Each structure stands twice: as C-alpha cells, then as structure tokens.
C-alpha cells in the first residue's frame, strides 16, 4: 500500500484502546480526515481488565465525555448487563453510576461506531517511529516499512510501550494478553529526549462461571430500572440484567500468598521495577502491606451474557498459575472452581505528563499529543477523557481554532488534565472525588449543563444532541423558577409540617421531602429524570452559591495568563526550585503555576506582582 501524504490525514491516532477510540472518534466526528493505526483493529476496546465502566468519580468522567459528544457513555449503555448508583447516601456531589459490560458487545459496538464515521480510516499497523522535522511532527513509520504523514499525531499506546508480562518466573514481552508490545516507539521517544519511567498494573484470574457455588456468596442485585450514562440512550435495558457477588479472603488465602512470596516477580524474584497503582493493589500487596486486615473483600462479576468467565475483582496477582488456583480454591463458593486464565502483571513505559501543555500537546514536539496510560493514568475512563481532549484539540489545531480547555471548576476532565500537566505522576493516577475541590458543582446530574455548550462550540455535539439538551435545560430552568413561586395548598407533606403553605421549593429544601411526594404539583411534561434534577438543584442551591462565590474570588489569579516566553530566571526573589519547575513546565496561567509542587504561595505572590508590571500588561487576559 502507498504511504499517505500529509494532506490525506489531518490527524493520525496511534492505538485502539479507550483513549485512541475517543481521540479518533472526536477528530473524525468534527470532520477532520483521521487515520487510526492499531495492531489489530478487531481488538479495539476489548476491556482487557475489569468489565466495568464508571464508579466513584469515574462515572462523572463518563457523563462528561458524553456531554461533550464522546462515545463511551453511548457504548456503555448499549452493552450494560448490571448497573447501580454508588454513594447514594452521601449526597449528589459524589453519587456515581457504575455499569458492567458485556465485553464482546462493547468491542463490536466500538468498532461499528468508528466504521460509521466517513472521515475515519482504520489500518492495522504497529508504529515504530515518529517522523519529526524542525521540532514538528510530520507523521509515523511502522514496523512493516510503511510511513503515514500528518501534522497532528495523537499517541494512545496504553500498556504497549515497552510492555512486559509477568507471572511467577515467566517473563515475556507483551502489551496485554496475547498481544505484542511496541518496543521501537519507546526507543524513539527516548531518543527525542522525552522523560520516561516505568509503571506497573495487573489483572486477576478468570474462573469458569459454571464451576462456582453462588449460594455461598453475598448477592448484589442490579438496578430494577434502567440507569444510563448518556442522554442520547433510550431508557431500556440492553439485555438481561445479571447479579454480582461479594466474598472475602481468609487466613488460608493469605497464608498461601506469604508462603509463595519467593515465587513472586514483585517480591521474592524482584523482577518488576515499575510502580504499581496505590488504589488498586495486588493481592500480594494487600496481604503484606495491610497485614492487620484479616480479610479483603472481593467482587465476583460476569464478563458477558454468553461469556464463560467471571472476573475476580480485588484479586490482581502475578504469582504462578498453580498458586493462583490454590488461592482461589480457599475462597467461599470457589472450592471447586476452574481457572480459565491466570492473572498477570504488566510493566510498561510512560512519558512524564509534565512534558505536555494543557491541550495535551507536547512542548517538545509541536503537533504531537499524548493521552491515556502513556501519561501515567490508570482506568478506562481516565484514558477516554484524555483521548477526547487530545483528539479534539488535534482536530481544532488543523483548522487554526482555539483549543478545548476545561477548567477545574467545570469538570473532572479539567481536574484530570490540570493534575497531570501541572503536578505530574510518580504512580498510576486514578481519578478520585477528593481531587476535585469544586465537586459540589461537578455532579453526575449536571454534566450536560456544564459541558455540552463546549462540545457544541467545537463541533463535537451534533444537532440531535444539542436539540435534546436545549429542550431539557429549558424545561428544567422553568421548573426551578416555578418552584420558587408555586405555593402548595397543604401544610403537611409526609412527616414534615409547615406553619404556612410552603412554596414547592421551600418544601423540597426540607431533607425529608422527596420530589416524588410533590409529583401532583409538577408540570406534566417534566420527566422523572428532570424531576430528580429539580430536587437536587433546589436542595443544594445554598452550597452551590457558596462554591460559585469562592470560584469568582479565585478567578482573577486563574485567568492571569503567563506569556509563553516569560523569563523566570530573571526574577531573583523566586526560589531556585520554583524557577526550575516553572521554566520546565511552563504553566499557562498563574493559577496553574500555584498548583505545581514546589512552587510556594510566596513564589506565586512574587510572580503575580511581576506579571502586573506595565511591560507584561498583555499577560492579564482571560481565557
């Protein structure tokens, strides 16, 4: 096949996982000719580890991807075999949806969705090298000798970059089970001067669903009504809804771990050098680092409607296969289980995300964007969110348009990007609600209100999605306004009593009053979903106003833009550490500068004074 010329592809995306799929989907949906290169197109979005999408903070990311016009929410809704809201008792700010996928369906539907995009072309290829000229990317070279050319390249390599798989004494090259790693590209990035390090993740064993005794486990039923990520999805179940199960490890399980540490590539064999995830540790790490815990909870989850496998969540391990089976058979209901595939650890290369600006473009090579696990994150949702940002910004750059930037106060995606490029990572980064200081504003229910206008502005939200959004927001705003005026003809609602007939809003502000009790006084055209949003907006209005005031107070510092060529070394009052880190990371705003580790509040104050001098008058502009 002949190589593509630069004008044949506006954007090249390397990698077909969640980051690559969202990047390619965004760029192509925005009408930019896009080429997706991946080792095996039939294995796009295979969900190689757990079968879930969403969860605490991650569910908010999926809602935000959907609000911007991305793919993950629609795909998840179409493949969901189990759905539940988490943290419902803790309030709307941390309430999050989690779904389990039918893995084969997710893979098929992701590929089918991409194939519907006229501007997207998919090729099987392993990229080995970047074509760079005068500090700008020009394309890629592949292992089979082909070259493809474009002025915007998005790398979404997942765990494939220099990947190695570990199970006991067995070590083999691989990006994941039965797939080869990308070795040449890792060398190429080092040769270009990128700062790199090794990270590690892992996956648990899979067991035959017909070989376990479910009666010995605690059942976790799915929601009785459809729960959806996307406003574009129809409210029905994708298929039969299946239960999950909970069990606990025990002393026999832990004893087997301790007795076989000498066979562990992480401990006794000392083969793994990469840093593993703090918030998803292996069973070896749990037993050793949390020795005071007599048990650890495990989640037994189906991987598909017709799949024979169960995923043993919380049981990630790289111990030898025979030890894994023995450990499994100490668990309740697993005494006679058959292990269909043993777990393993994977170690891979990442590039320091501090090499990027807030559009996810590298500072070192113009036109080159990084996203997903290449940036040191863990999780499908974090990868997909970065993929959308990188793909959209690559597409916008081809048209000379302003990039997509999401503030920390606008979305978890903004928190994610700002944390990565401003603070960097020294272990796999996972999104947590505690990372978002404005989380009362960044809820599951209002992602569309926050971000759909951004998606529309960049051309990612189509007419159909925009029409539904504008109609729903108009209905909701009218309902909120009416709630403040409509006085109810009662003084008692459930257990709540009022001295005088309350307005609908006054009634809703009582913690014990739920919107379902007020249904007779709500507009007939207000759906159950919008009625729930009405309740949330009214109940937490005071918290929201206080948070918005705090954001306004901090906005001036956040909006003060630092010139790209600002000479930090010329400010003698700055600490040496601040000068070094500011010069290396080149934060775009004063607010971003203040979030860099090692830059003290005094450094920020000094920098602010210098930026407001007449010679830097152009710096004080808003984003």
Sign of CA dihedral 368, 185, 414, 92: positive
Would the pLDDT of 620 be above 60? no
At a CB cut-off of 8 Å and minimum separation 6, what does 423 contact?
A: 354, 595, 596, 597
Q: What is the pLDDT of residues 178-193, one digit of tens each?
A: 899 999 999 999 999 9
Average pLDDT over residues 231-253: 97
Q: What is the mean pLDDT of residues 395-410?
A: 97
In which band, very low, low, confident or very high, does the pLDDT at 4 lie, cut at 50, 70 and 90?
A: very low
Coil, helix or strand at residue 442: coil
Q: Phi, psi at residue 361, to the nearest 5°?
A: -85, 140
Average pLDDT over residues 443-457: 98
Q: Are 318 and 347 in contact (CB under 8 A)?
A: no
What was the pLDDT predicted at 557? 73
Helix ranges (H only) for 216-275 are 251-259
Asked whether residue 488 carries a pLDDT value surpassing 50, the answer given is yes
pLDDT at 615 exceeding the cut of 70: no
Contact 198, 348 (CB under 8 A): yes
Q: What is the mean pLDDT of residues 386-390?
A: 98
pLDDT at 29 over 60: yes
Cα distance between residue 388 and residue 18, in whole Å: 10
Give the whole-number percent of the chain exceeding pLDDT 70.
Answer: 97
Rounded Cα distance between 593 and 579, Å, is 11
In three-state secondary structure terms, 326 is helix
* Tokens at 417, concatenated: 């990007």
Residue intervals of the chain classified under CATH 1.10.150.570 are 560-619
Angle of CA points 68, 72, 74, to nearest 5°: 90
What are 143's strand-pairing partners? none
Q: Is the pLDDT of residue 167 over 60?
A: yes
Residue 279 reports pLDDT greater than 60: yes
For residue 541, count CB atoms less than 10 angstroms from its CB and return exposed for 0-12, middle for 13-18, buried for 19 or more: middle
Cα→Cα distances 132→14, 129, 372, 472, Å: 16, 9, 22, 47
Q: Which CATH superfamily is domain 1-459 in?
A: FAD/NAD(P)-binding domain (3.50.50.60)
Which pLDDT belongs to residue 56?
96
What per-residue confidence (pLDDT) applies to 7?
59
Q: Which pLDDT belongs to residue 432?
A: 93
Angstrom distance (rounded) from CA 491 to CA 285? 58
**Contact yes or no for 329/335 (Cβ under 8 A):** yes
Mean pLDDT confidence for 8-36: 97
Write down the pLDDT at residue 604: 86
* Residue 237 vs residue 604, higher pLDDT: 237
Please tell me which residue, 615 or 431, carries the higher pLDDT value. 431
Please determine, for residue 616, whether its predicted confidence score (pLDDT) is greater than 70: no
Inter-residue contact 94 to 154 (CB < 8 Å):
no
Which CATH fold would you assign to the domain 560-619? Answer: DNA polymerase; domain 1 (1.10.150)
CA distance 173 to 319: 17
pLDDT value of residue 437 = 87
Residue written as token pair 């296969």 = 321
- In this structure, which CATH number among 3.40.630.30, 1.10.730.10, 1.10.10.1800, 1.10.10.10 belongs to the domain 463-544? 1.10.10.1800
Give percent helix, percent strand, percent coil of the chain, each to the nearest 5.
Answer: 40, 20, 40
Q: Give the closest residue to 510 by CA, choosing from 521, 526, 495.
A: 495
Cβ atoms 352, 319 nearer than 8 A: no
What is the pLDDT, as a whole number, of residue 246?
Answer: 98
pLDDT the model gives residue 617: 53
In which residue ranges of the chain is CATH 1.10.10.1800 found? 463-544
Segment 289-315 mean pLDDT = 97
Asked if residue 302 has pLDDT above 60, the reply is yes
Nearest of 229, 604, 210 to residue 422 by alpha carbon: 604
Q: Check whether 622 has a pLDDT greater than 70.
A: no
pLDDT in tens, 269-278: 999 999 999 8
| pLDDT band at residue 1 under the 50/70/90 scheme | very low
pLDDT for residue 44 is more than 90: yes
CB neighbour class for 263 (10 Å; exposed up to 12, middle 13-18, buried from 19):
middle
Length of the chain: 623
Judged against a pLDDT cut of 90, whether residue 502 lies above it is answered with yes
- Please give the Cα distance from 122 to 115 (Å, whole number): 8
Round to whole Å and give the CA distance between 320 and 365: 42
10 Å Cβ neighbour count for 532? 15
Rounded to the nearest 10 degrees, how much is the dihedral formed by the CA atoms of 499, 505, 509, 511? 90
Across 105-119, 410-424, 594-608, least confident range: 594-608
Average pLDDT over every residue of 90-102: 95
Alpha-carbon distances of 360 from 33, 119, 371, 408, 580, rounded to whole Å: 20, 22, 7, 15, 21
Are the beta carbons of 197 and 352 closer than 8 angstroms? yes
Kindly state the DSSP code that residue 581 receives in the 8-state scheme: H
pLDDT digit string (tens) for 332-358? 999 999 999 999 999 999 999 999 999
Least confident of 123-132, 445-454, 601-610: 601-610
pLDDT tens-digit profile of 529-582?
999 999 999 999 999 999 998 888 777 777 789 998 999 999 998 998 899 999
- pLDDT above 90 covers a percentage of the chain that reads 87
Full strand arrangement of the beta sheet holding 120-124: 120-124, 34-38, 11-14, 153-155, 368-370
Q: Which of 196, 199, 194, 562 is nearest to 368 (CA)?
A: 194
CB 245 within 8 A of CB 300: yes
Is the pLDDT at 619 greater than 60? The verdict is no
The span from the CA of 446 to the CA of 409, in Å, is 13
| pLDDT for the residue 6 | 54
Q: Which residues contact 371 (CB under 8 A, 6 or more apart)?
A: 19, 23, 154, 155, 156, 360, 383, 386, 387, 389, 390, 391
**Structure tokens that stand for 549 in this block:** 């005031």
Handedness of CA 408, 414, 420, 422 (dihedral sign): negative
Token pair 């490029």 is found at: 421
For the chain, give the mean pLDDT.
Answer: 94
Sign of the C-alpha dihedral, residues 610, 613, 617, 622?
Answer: positive
Distance from C-alpha of 382 to C-alpha of 416, rounded to nearest angstrom: 8
Domain with CATH 3.50.50.60 in the chain: 1-459
CA angle 464, 468, 474 (to 5 degrees): 145
What is the DSSP code string of 173-215?
E-SBTTB--BHHHHHHHHHTT--EEEEEEEE--EEEGGGS-GG
């Amino acid at each position: 096949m002949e190589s593509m010329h630069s004008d044949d592809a506006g954007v090249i995306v390397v990698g077909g996982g969640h980051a690559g799929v969202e990047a390619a989907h965004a760029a192509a949906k925005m009408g930019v000719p896009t080429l997706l290169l991946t080792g095996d197109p039939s294995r796009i979005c295979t969900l190689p580890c757990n079968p879930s999408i969403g969860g605490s903070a991650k569910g908010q990311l999926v809602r935000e991807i959907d609000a911007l016009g991305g793919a993950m929410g629609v795909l998840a809704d179409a493949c969901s075999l189990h759905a539940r809201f988490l943290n419902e008792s803790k309030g709307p700010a941390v309430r999050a949806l989690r779904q389990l996928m039918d893995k084969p369906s997710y893979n098929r539907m992701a590929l089918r969705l991409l194939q519907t995009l006229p501007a997207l072309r998919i090729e099987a290829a392993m990229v080995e090298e970047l074509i760079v000229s005068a500090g700008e990317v020009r394309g890629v070279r592949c292992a089979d000798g082909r070259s493809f050319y474009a002025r915007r390249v998005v790398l979404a390599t997942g765990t494939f970059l220099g990947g190695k798989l570990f199970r006991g004494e067995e070590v083999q090259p691989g990006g994941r089970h039965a797939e080869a790693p990308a070795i040449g590209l890792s060398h190429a990035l080092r040769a270009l001067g990128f700062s790199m390090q090794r990270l590690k993740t892992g996956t648990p064993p899979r067991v035959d669903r017909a070989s376990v005794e479910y009666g010995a486990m605690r059942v976790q039923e799915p929601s009785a009504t459809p729960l959806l990520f996307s406003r574009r999805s129809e409210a029905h179940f994708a298929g039969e809804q299946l239960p999950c199960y909970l069990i606990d490890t025990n002393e026999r399980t832990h004893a087997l771990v301790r007795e076989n540490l000498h066979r562990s590539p992480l401990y006794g064999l000392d083969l793994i050098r990469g840093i593993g995830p703090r918030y998803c540790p292996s069973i070896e790490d749990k037993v050793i680092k949390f020795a005071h815990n007599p048990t650890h909870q495990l989640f037994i989850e189906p991987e598909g409607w017709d799949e024979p496998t169960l995923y043993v969540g919380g049981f990630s391990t790289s111990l030898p296969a025979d030890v894994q089976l023995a450990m499994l058979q100490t668990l309740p209901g697993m005494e006679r289980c058959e292990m269909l595939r043993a777990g393993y650890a994977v170690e891979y290369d990442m590039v320091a995300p501090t090499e990027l600006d807030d559009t996810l473009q590298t500072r070192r090579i113009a036109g080159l964007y990084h996203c997903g696990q290449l940036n040191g994150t863990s999780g499908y949702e974090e990868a997909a969110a970065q993929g959308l940002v990188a793909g959209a910004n690559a597409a916008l750059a081809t048209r000379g348009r302003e990039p997509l930037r999401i503030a920390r106060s606008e979305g978890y995606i903004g928190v994610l990007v700002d944390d990565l490029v401003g603070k960097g990572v020294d272990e796999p980064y996972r999104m947590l609600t505690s990372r978002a200081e404005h989380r009362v504003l960044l809820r599951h229910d209002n992602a569309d209100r926050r971000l759909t206008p951004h998606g529309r502005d960049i051309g990612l939200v189509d007419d159909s999605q925009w029409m539904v959004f504008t109609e729903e927001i108009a209905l909701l705003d009218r309902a909120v306004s009416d709630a403040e005026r409509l006085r109810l003809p009662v003084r008692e609602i459930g257990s709540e009593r009022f001295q005088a007939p309350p307005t609908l809003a006054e009634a809703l502000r009582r913690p014990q009053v739920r919107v379902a009790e007020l249904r007779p006084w709500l507009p007939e055209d207000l759906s159950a979903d919008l009625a729930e949003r009405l309740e949330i907006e009214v109940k937490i209005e005071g918290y929201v106003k206080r948070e918005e005031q705090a954001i306004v107070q901090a906005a001036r510092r956040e909006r003060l833009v630092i010139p790209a060529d600002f000479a930090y070394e010329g400010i003698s009052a700055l600490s040496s550490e601040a000068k070094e880190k500011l010069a290396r990371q080149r934060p775009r705003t004063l607010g971003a500068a203040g979030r860099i580790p090692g830059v003290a509040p005094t450094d920020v104050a000094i920098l602010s004074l210098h930026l407001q001098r007449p010679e830097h008058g152009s710096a004080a502009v808003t984003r």
